[in-house]
Structure formats: structure tokens, C-alpha cells
């Protein structure tokens, strides 16, 4: 069996693994305890049976030996016990046993009547094997002691007690696993919902010392991330403010240049610098896009308005699909996302198609499609990173700064959605924005 198939049997979740370990350990301990208990009970029962056997056999043989032969059958039922009885006769044929055989029953019978009656022993086979002792009374009549050893019967209430104890074990296992895994699950949910755009709820710093320490460390990490992002936003905002002044001065000086060709190049470079500064600040602010208050919008009307704005300026943008549902979202962030995606499609193909459809009862998708050159499969994820530019037609030569898709990606996360890119069948790109309904 290969390693993957062997480990496939092992549960994947921590709760199931702990439950399995605890339950198996408790069941083994429980089984061992009951095994020892039953063994001790068997030993006690055997010792009691042998003690009773010695006394009863000695008394019963003495009584039968002194009774007249015609009265002996009436006494057999009174002398019979659960594990042995007396038979007037030679008994059954079986495999002879030596008187010195290492058998507790043989030793017990020999110890009380062996000197006077010299019994012989035989092992009787069959469905229920048993042992018989054969002897002769004083008048020569044969007597057989039929011994059928058996374990003492189990009490009717014992299975109920065993099931009750098993239920207690299961309950304790569940409680222990839940106590151990609940803080981990809470920490995992907090990490999964950690949003750099807003401060999430703080974890309770109570409970066992290890859990409290982990919660304190997580809260401190969340504060450090928020402080770092806030500092980055302030730095970029300060850089933008400080660069605006020298760029404006340089633009004024360029206007007084005599060389028209050189002036055009300077204006182009300065315009690119200004655009790069603005988009850098826009990206930093997109990380904090969740500060916009959410509201309910008519999605169909919202998309139609966006598409009509582009059509009014002569752009080839079309809309397909209707959902007839309101959407709770941040409208300015959603408009910025779709605007960036549509602008990107228009830039590289000259036309854009907007499609909206329901993915499931709880999610929907808005797609922006184009018939441009597309993107290499290995770069579909990389282009969502800031300042990443492709070396094909989607490069700086087209005027891009490498921030449009990154801003759309950050804003998508800020409104609780996700943005993915895929190459379109027949050529082009599909930008898919998935949102919760």
C-alpha cells in the first residue's frame, strides 16, 4: 500500500484525530479494566466452585454410601448442583485421565475421597465436554460424579452499565476535543476574516494560558498590520502632496521652452509622472476601501448606468444579463473596479462586454470580456500585483502604470468579493468579479 493511500485512512481534521485517539485510548483502558475484572471474577468463581465441590462431594458420597440402595435415587436431585451432579452407574465412556493429572477438579476430588474410594477419571467429549469421576461405594454399587464446569452467568444489568459507561466515555471525549479545538477554530476564523482594510473584532484574551497567549499575539499582530498599512498610506499621501508642487513648477517652466519638440517630450514625461503618483495614491487608498459605508443598490440599474456612460462617449461597451435583485455593496468601490476593468478592455481591444449572472443562491458574478491579445497563463495571477507590467502589448508604451488591475483586486477584497482573470476562448480576456448576494 502506498503512503498516500495508507494515510488517507487517517482523519484530516484535528477534532476527528483527537477524538479517535482519545476514544481508542479510553476504550482500550476500559476494555483492559473489564478484562482484568472478569478474569478476577472467573478466578474467584473457580476457587469458590472447587471449595464447594470438595465439601459437597465428601458429604454427598458419605450420604449415598450409608443409604440403602433403594433410597439413593431419591437423593440425587437434592445433591445436584449447577456445575456437577451424581449418577448411579458407571457413567459415560471417555478418554481416561491419570489421577495425577494437573486438573483442579481431579485434585479437588482426590483430596477428599481419593484415599477411601480410589476414583478414576475420564474426559468426556461431545458438544459440551465435561469430566467424570468413577468410583464404587462400600456395597460395590458404581457411582459417577459428572462435573460440568462453567462460568458464572452474567447479571442482566451489566450490559446496561457497560453501555452507560461507553456513553460517558463518548461524552467526555467530545467535551475534551471541543474544549481543545474551539480556540483553534476561533483563531482560524479570525485569521481567515482578517481584513487589512479595517480592524476586525478582537479575540477574547481569556481561557487557558496557552489560548490567552495566542489570542493576545493575534490581536497584537492585527494592530501591527493596521498600523503598518496606515503608515504606508500616510507616506504615499505625503509623497503625492510633496511631488505635486515640483511637478507643477516643472510644467510651468516647460511652457516657456523655445524648443517645441523638447517641450512635448517634457510634458509627456511629466504627465506620466503625475499619473503614476496619482495611481500610487489610489492603490494605497484602495487598500482602505472598506471605509466607504455599504448600501443597497439596484444592480441592473447600476450596471446599465455605468455602461450608458461609456456609450455616451462613443465607446463600444455592451451589457448582457439581468438579475432583478438588490445588492448590498459599496457602490463607489464597485464602480471603480468595473471602470478599471472596462478601461483595460477598451485599451487593448477597443470594445468591452459586461455580463452579469447568478453563480448560486448566495453568489453572483460580473464579467468584463474583451477580444484583445490576452495574457499568458503563467502571468494571469502576477498581473494582479502592483506595478507588474507585461512585456507584450500591455506594457508602459500603452500608457499603463501596472496599477489598474491591482487597484481593482484590492477593492474587490475590500467589498468582500474576489477578482480572477482567464483567457477567453477564441482570444481575449475574461475578468470575473464574484460577489456575495
Confidence (pLDDT) at 115: 79
Q: Is 106 helix (H, G, I), strand (E, B) or coil?
A: helix
180 vs 366: CA distance, rounded Å: 42
State the 10-residue block means of pLDDT for the chain, 437 residues long: 53 74 80 79 72 81 88 88 85 75 77 83 78 87 84 70 82 81 77 65 75 82 79 73 78 77 78 73 61 84 93 92 88 90 90 91 90 86 75 48 77 86 90 89
180 vs 174: CA distance, rounded Å: 10
Confidence (pLDDT) at 390: 66
Confidence (pLDDT) at 368: 94
- pTM (two decimals): 0.49
Confidence (pLDDT) at 152: 61
Confidence (pLDDT) at 1: 46
Question: What is the set of domains in the chain, with CATH numbers?
Answer: 14-147 (3.30.450.300), 193-291 (1.10.287.130), 293-436 (3.30.565.10)
431 vs 421: CA distance, rounded Å: 5
Q: Which of 379, 368, 361, 364 is nearest to 416 (CA)?
A: 364
Confidence (pLDDT) at 227: 79
Question: CB 239: neighbour CB atoms within 10 A?
Answer: 14
Confidence (pLDDT) at 154: 63
Instruction: Give the pairing type, strands 326-329 and 130-136.
Output: unpaired
How close are the terminal C-alpha atoms of the chain, in Å? 46
CA angle 256, 257, 259 (to 5 degrees): 150
Confidence (pLDDT) at 392: 47
Confidence (pLDDT) at 121: 85
The grid coordinates listed for 408 are: 481593482
Cα distances from 47 to residues 113, 133, 139, 225, 367, in angstroms, run 19, 19, 33, 75, 85
Amino acid at each position: 500500500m502506498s503512503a498516500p493511500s495508507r494515510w488517507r485512512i487517517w482523519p484530516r481534521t484535528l477534532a476527528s484525530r483527537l477524538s479517535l485517539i482519545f476514544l481508542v485510548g479510553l476504550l482500550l483502558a476500559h476494555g483492559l479494566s473489564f478484562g482484568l475484572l472478569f478474569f478476577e471474577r472467573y478466578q474467584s468463581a473457580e476457587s469458590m466452585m472447587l471449595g464447594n465441590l470438595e465439601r459437597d462431594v465428601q458429604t454427598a458420597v458419605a450420604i449415598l454410601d450409608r443409604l440403602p440402595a433403594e433410597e439413593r435415587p431419591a437423593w440425587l436431585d437434592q445433591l445436584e448442583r449447577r456445575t456437577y451432579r451424581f449418577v448411579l452407574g458407571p457413567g459415560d465412556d471417555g478418554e481416561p485421565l491419570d489421577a495425577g493429572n494437573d486438573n483442579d477438579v481431579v485434585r479437588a476430588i482426590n483430596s477428599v475421597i481419593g484415599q477411601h474410594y480410589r476414583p478414576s477419571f475420564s474426559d468426556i467429549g461431545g458438544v459440551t465436554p465435561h469430566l467424570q469421576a468413577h468410583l464404587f461405594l462400600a456395597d460395590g454399587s458404581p457411582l459417577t460424579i459428572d462435573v460440568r464446569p462453567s462460568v458464572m452467568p452474567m447479571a442482566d444489568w451489566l450490559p446496561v452499565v457497560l453501555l452507560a459507561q461507553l456513553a460517558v466515555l463518548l461524552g467526555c471525549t467530545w467535551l475534551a476535543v471541543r474544549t481543545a479545538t474551539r480556540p483553534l477554530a476561533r483563531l482560524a476564523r479570525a485569521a481567515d476574516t482578517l481584513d487589512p482594510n479595517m480592524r476586525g473584532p478582537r479575540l477574547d484574551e481569556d481561557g487557558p494560558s496557552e489560548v490567552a497567549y495566542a489570542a493576545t499575539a493575534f490581536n497584537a499582530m492585527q494592530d501591527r498590520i493596521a498600523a503598518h498599512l496606515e503608515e504606508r498610506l500616510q507616506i504615499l499621501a505625503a509623497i503625492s502632496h510633496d511631488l505635486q508642487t515640483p511637478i507643477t513648477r516643472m510644467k510651468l517652466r516647460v511652457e516657456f521652452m523655445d524648443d517645441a519638440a523638447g517641450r512635448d517630450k517634457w510634458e509627456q514625461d511629466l504627465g506620466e509622472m503625475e499619473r503614476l503618483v496619482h495611481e500610487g495614491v489610489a492603490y494605497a487608498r484602495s487598500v482602505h476601501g472598506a471605509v466607504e459605508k455599504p448600501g443597497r443598490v439596484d444592480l441592473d440599474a447600476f450596471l446599465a448606468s455605468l455602461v450608458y456612460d461609456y456609450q455616451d462617449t462613443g465607446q463600444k461597451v455592451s451589457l448582457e444579463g439581468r438579475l432583478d435583485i438588490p445588492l448590498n455593496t459599496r457602490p463607489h468601490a464597485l464602480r471603480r473596479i468595473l471602470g478599471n476593468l472596462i478601461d483595460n478592455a477598451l485599451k487593448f481591444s477597443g470594445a468591452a462586454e459586461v455580463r452579469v449572472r447568478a453563480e448560486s443562491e448566495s453568489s453572483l458574478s460580473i464579467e468584463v470580456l474583451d477580444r484583445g491579445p490576452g495574457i499568458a497563463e503563467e502571468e494571469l495571477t502576477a498581473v494582479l500585483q502592483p506595478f507588474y507590467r507585461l512585456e507584450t502589448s500591455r506594457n508602459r508604451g500603452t500608457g499603463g502604470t501596472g496599477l489598474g488591475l491591482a487597484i481593482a483586486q484590492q477593492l474587490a477584497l475590500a467589498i468582500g468579493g474576489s477578482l480572477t482573470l482567464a483567457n477567453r476562448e477564441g482570444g481575449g480576456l475574461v475578468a470575473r468579479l464574484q460577489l456575495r448576494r
